[in-house]
Copies of this chain bind each other. A is one copy, B any other.
Amino acid sequence: MKSFRKELWFNVPSRRAFINITPQVEECLRESGVKEGIILVNAMHITASVFINDNERGLFHDFEVWLEKLAPHEPVTQYRHNSGEENADAHLKRSIMGREVVVAVTSGRLDFGPWEQVFYGEFDGGRKKRVLVKIIGE
């Protein structure tokens, strides 16, 4: 069994953003040399997310509005977590969007449907944060 590990680093200037990381994940897969197996891509921080969806600008606006409705940032005093920091909403938003994805690797490629792309979801930016890519297989 082969295994491969790499960290992807981000420093998002805004509080929230969605970034398409499919090219970086594909590059990791090429580096790994794994042809058959699985790839795990996860946020290493608990106020960020890795998820798979459509690469469409309008949709990301919709996600932003929707997440802010389900788990609003303001008023920050509504959350007990917000003593010293004010990112409780980011923990909740990340719970909806998910921490990780597991993707099949087949014939050396991400075994994706026609529109699947991997995204990093930042919900508490303004600092350096990481995504872990782990690949196991042969």
Chain A interface (Cβ < 8 Å from any Cβ of B): 1, 3, 5, 36-38, 40, 42-46, 51-54, 56-59, 61-63, 66, 70-71, 79-83, 88, 91-92, 94-104, 106, 111-116, 130, 132, 134, 136-138
Contacts and interface: CB of A to CB of B under 8 A. Distances in A.
B53 A138 contact: no
A46 B54 contact: yes
A109 to B, nearest CB: 12
Nearest to A61: B80
7 contacts: A3-B36, A44-B116, A45-B116, A46-B52, A46-B54, A59-B91, A102-B102
**Looking at chain A's contact residues, is the secondary structure mostly helix, strand, loop, or mixed?**
mixed
Given A3-B137, A99-B52, A111-B5, A62 B37 contact: no
A113 B130 contact: yes
A134 to B, nearest CB: 4
Contacts of A94: 53
